[in-house]
Amino acid sequence: MAKKVFFDKLPSCYAGKILKIDLTNKTTSVIPTEKYANDYVGGRAMANRIYWDEVKDGNVPALSAENTLIYMTGPLAGTGLPYSGRAIMTGISAKNIPEQYTHSSCGGYFGAVLKWAGYDGFVLTGKADSLTYVVIDDDKISFEDASDLKGMYVIDTQEKLFDKYGRKSSALVIGPAGENLCRHASIVTHADSAFAMPGYGAVWGYKNLKAVVARGTGTVAPMDLEKTLEIHAWRDTPEKGRPYPPEYSETVKLGDFEGASEPHYKTFNSCNPGCNHICMISRSCVTNPLNPAGDKVTMVGKCMDLYGSIMRTDNDYPKGSYIDFPRQSEPGKYLWQVPILCDEEDPLKDEYLDIYPGNLLNMWGPNAEFGDMMMWCCNQYGLDKWDIAFWLFTWIYQCQLEGLFQEEGIDFGRPIDFNDPQFTKHILESMTYRTGPMGDLLAEGVGRMIRALGKEKFGDTIRHGITNRDGEERLTPVSWETSWGECSHWQGRGFQGCEKHVWVSMNILHMIGSRDEANGAHSHDHYENYLQYKDDPCHHPLMVEAAVCNIRRNEMKDSLLLCEYKDPDPGRPNMELDMYKAALGVKDITLDDIDHLADRGKIIERAIFMRDHGRTRDMEVAQVYPWMTFPDPWGDTVTWDEWNDLVDLFYKNRKWDLETGWPTREAWEEVELDDIAEFFAEQGKIPTANPDYVRKPDPFGK
Amino acid sequence: MKYDHIVQYPDEYSHCIGCSSCELFCALVHDGVTGPCHGGIKVELGRLDQLRHKVYVCEHCEDHPCYEACPKKDKAMCVDENGTVYINEEACIGCGLCAKKCKLTPSRITMDKKNRKAHKCDLCRTRQGGPQCIKECPVVCLGLASDPLPYDPKTLGGVK
């Protein structure tokens, strides 16, 4: 079947070329963006298709010359529309377990600058013979010796490159963690915008790639300027359109907890050109934790930074933020306190706004010095903040609480002390530089370290002392690992104890992905639907529809690209469609078309999983099921049959085979991917409906 | 006398968030595109460990050396009755003399070398509603030098 044609000529929001960079041979070539733009929009969907076409065998180690990394902007980057610098990176993850194809998204200015240099993205292959950085200076591409950047911190590297290429250039860089192949290493741009979770920083380190610098003199333009102006103006509500002077403060706050801090100024910063959301809270004039005698610094703050200082309580859980407005992205919005919109006359208003207090986690803080050290080490070494704050340090805390290190004589080279910022520094230094008794293990990432130490003891031992909302003890493991070697994220246990319908929906997303999918999607649905499935979410088709809606939003957000922190918005439920129209100037496109494009992009990811990593139903169900057998804050769990009943409903909705999880021919043809259907037909991987499918017994014996 | 021009308010009044909306939308409404070689206002992002950003824009100097330097004076580089110095881009030959003669550092004239055109702030003199950069700034850190501050600094009280 022919794909729908949205435009005949490549719209001006695209730069027009995708650069192929071969680090081994120091050569480049070009893929025309036009080849993919109509059918795959940009960002993740386009990267998935390029990966499918360019990489014939992706079953390679993450740390190998053969691992192909794709960086893609979307049509929004550089146009002035909000989030105008966001981009995606795909390739084999160094951190996730097992290593496999995944994705990460990132803000910053690099995406826009790259487009002004003439490229919508780049495909990176090979390995340089020594530490190198690549300069994309309009049409001039050069491979530069990076020996003078070796070992340099993330911010210092970027500043040095600014000195050389000017402050209108932009760079993606790695820090010492990436150079030393730490599997939690990130690739960073600007102030703390990072491709962090999949450990792509280690892949760059392996490839001897310290940085990619872009500088350009070209242009891009949204096709519909009027609509672009309207969307930008719509953001400027009276509440936002006011001065934001620095505010003097001597405390850091999180929920009910407030801790002393050195005096500082609270300010806001943007992480994207054209973005008029005022969401990044910074603390200025703070002592540089890694150089107390040096200049005072400004620390960009997001939720992780706050939890670095305070891991005392779980998020409060506002009911309405999850269950209204089908195309919005909560709970991200709640995290930075945008009020939930609802009609004053709405009879369900009180229910929407009903807020459950968080679980008491009772770990550390409030201690700003401790948090600042944790976050600044991550900023400068180039480490993933999420895994460090929510997984590594909570794991150390909980193992210590249960006496596991003492029992096995595990020594980190410094006494564990959650009131001592130097302890944090020591752990992150050991991880980054592979020093001290645990350095090499820490650098392998928390998941692999736990397996090396013995997962049964160091992963699965039950931690005591967390209380639920009724004050009763909740029992969860010392490691908050869930699926694909990731840390729990809006999954009802560990941090963020949400209700069953939320974590059930989230686990569908995690199950069919290869990473923590809450980077780009959270669970949300109409309140009316929630009322129908809340008592038994695993057996209701509306639950499946909510999951499908979330998957589509996630895919399109990562393809245009929008920001999960802000969009879609309750006040603008069709934001993806509006953004597409503004950037591409296409009038004849509907929400159904947007969903269709999202489905096409997403299913190619599944094709890659099947081709390169042997993805099956058994494999993905086994990833998410065990975590759901621990009680959530209400004591809810799922049984093997309950979860598999929901998987059956979801697979049927997607037209995937119940036994293998492989899409049927109909599923491929529905999104006009006949070529991929043919590929799998030759492999014998086009299943037909199997009425005799018999569910396997619970392999975990839960 | 100093003619009216865009100013960046002091940090204490409002902290520039570095979003560059002013720069992007200036280029969009004047040239229909975005890019570093377009637009008449530029944001220089501050050091990444400080995040204090600077906005650079023409001050429409009384002696306007850019105008004096233009070989096509009054056709390409022009001054209107309000003292606003502006470029008629159709007549501009992109020689760059205006940019060289600007007495401010960095030069407030943006050169588009590819298309041989110069761009600078014209205070959106022909646009209804005043300068677009002021309109697009989400944190009110830009204004006209002649206007009083739009909010009373005493009542701002810092970030809410």
pLDDT cut 70: percent of chain A above it: 91
Q: Is residue A169 part of a domain?
A: yes
What pLDDT does residue A232 have? 87
Identify the DSSP state of B34: B
Q: Is residue A627 part of a domain?
A: yes
Which residues 20-49 in chain B show a CB within 8 A of chain A? 20-21, 23-25, 28-29, 31-38, 44-45, 47-49
Range of the domain at A559: 503-521+530-682
Residues of B within 8 A of A116 (CB-CB) are: 34-36
Say yes or no for a CB contact (<8 Å) between A246 and B33: no
What pLDDT does residue B21 have? 95
What pLDDT does residue A258 have? 79
Higher-scoring residue by pLDDT: A344, A154? A154
pLDDT per residue as tens digits for the range A202-261:
999 999 999 999 999 999 999 999 999 998 887 655 556 789 899 898 988 766 677 788
Q: Which amino acid is at A324?
A: D
Residue A221 phi, psi (nearest 5): -155, 140
Q: Which amino acid is at A408?
A: E
What pLDDT does residue A236 have? 54
Is residue A196 scored above 80 in pLDDT?
yes
- Which of A215, A238, A264 terminates a domain? The answer is A215
Structure tokens at A452: 């090396």
What pLDDT does residue A28 have? 98
Closest Cα in chain A, distance from residue B24 (Å): 6
What pLDDT does residue A640 have? 97
pLDDT band at A497 (very low <50, low <70, confident <90, very high): confident
CATH of the domain at A211: 3.60.9.10
Option in A116, A245, A268 nearest B12 (CB) = A245
DSSP letters, A321-365, are: HHSS-TT--TTHHHHTTPPPP--TT-TTHHHHT-EEPPPEEEEE-
Q: Does A264 touch chain B (CB under 8 A)?
A: no
Give me the residues paired with residue A88 across strands. A72, A105
Residue the block writes with tokens 């159904």: A592
Cα-Cα end-to-end distance for chain A: 46
Say yes or no for a CB contact (<8 Å) between A159 and B9: no
Structure tokens at A520: 């780009």
ipTM of the complex: 0.96
Q: Is residue A699 part of a domain?
A: no
Q: Is residue A221 part of a domain?
A: no
- Which of A215, A249, A274 terminates a domain? The answer is A215
Is residue A322 scored above 60 in pLDDT?
no
**In degrees to the nearest 10, what's the CA dihedral of A476, A478, A482, A486?**
150
Identify the DSSP state of A378: H
Is residue A332 scored above 50 in pLDDT?
no
Is residue A338 scored above 50 in pLDDT?
no
Spatial contact of B141 and A242, defined as CB atoms under 8 Å apart = no
Option in A221, A242, A270 nearest B32 (CB) = A221
Listed by start position, the domains of chain B span: 6-62+103-149
Option in A218, A273, A281 nearest B24 (CB) = A273
Q: Which residue of B has its CA nearest to A170?
A: B45
Instruction: Categorise residue A297: left if φ over 0, alpha if ψ from -120 to 50, beta otherwise.
Output: beta
Q: Is residue A374 part of a domain?
A: no
Is residue A329 scored above 50 in pLDDT?
no
Q: Does A220 touch chain B (CB under 8 A)?
A: yes
Chain A interface, best mutation among B12, B33, B49, by max A CB count within 10 A: B49
Q: What average pLDDT does range A382-409 have in this prediction?
A: 96
Cα angle A161, A167, A172; round to 5: 50
- Which of A198, A215, A232 terminates a domain? The answer is A215
Provide the residue count of chain B: 160
Strand, helix or coil at A187?
A: strand
Give me the residues paired with residue A32 across strands. A17
pLDDT per residue as tens digits for the range A572-598:
668 889 999 999 999 999 999 999 999
pTM strictly above 0.90 = yes
pLDDT per residue as tens digits for the range A597-635:
999 999 999 999 999 999 999 999 999 999 999 998 888
CATH of the domain at A639: 1.10.599.10
Is residue B51 scored above 60 in pLDDT?
yes
Helix, strand, coil % over all residues of chain B, rounded to 5: 20, 15, 65
Instruction: Categorise residue A243: left if φ over 0, alpha if ψ from -120 to 50, beta otherwise.
Output: beta
In whole angstroms, what is the distance from residue A664 CA to residue A661 CA?
Answer: 9
Is residue B45 scored above 80 in pLDDT?
yes
Provide the residue count of chain A: 702
Q: Give the number of A-B residue pairs with CB atoms closer than 8 Å.
A: 161
Higher-scoring residue by pLDDT: A89, A499? A89
Q: What average pLDDT does range B111-128 have in this prediction?
A: 95
Q: Is residue A155 part of a domain?
A: yes
Q: What average pLDDT does range A132-161 have in this prediction?
A: 98
In whole angstroms, what is the distance from residue A124 CA to residue A180 CA?
Answer: 20
Q: Which residue, among A640, A625, A649, A617, has the nearest Cα to A503 in the 3D structure?
A: A625
Q: Is residue A367 part of a domain?
A: no
Q: Is residue A81 part of a domain?
A: yes
pLDDT per residue as tens digits for the range A632-676:
888 899 999 999 999 999 999 999 999 999 999 999 999 999 999
Is residue A507 scored above 80 in pLDDT?
yes
Chain A interface, best mutation among B15, B41, B114, B160, by max A CB count within 10 A: B15
In whole angstroms, what is the distance from residue A220 CA to residue A688 CA?
Answer: 46
Average pLDDT of chain A to the nearest whole number? 90
What pLDDT does residue A330 have? 37
What pLDDT does residue A119 have? 98
What pLDDT does residue A498 have? 80
What pLDDT does residue A320 have? 52
pLDDT band at A541 (very low <50, low <70, confident <90, very high): very high
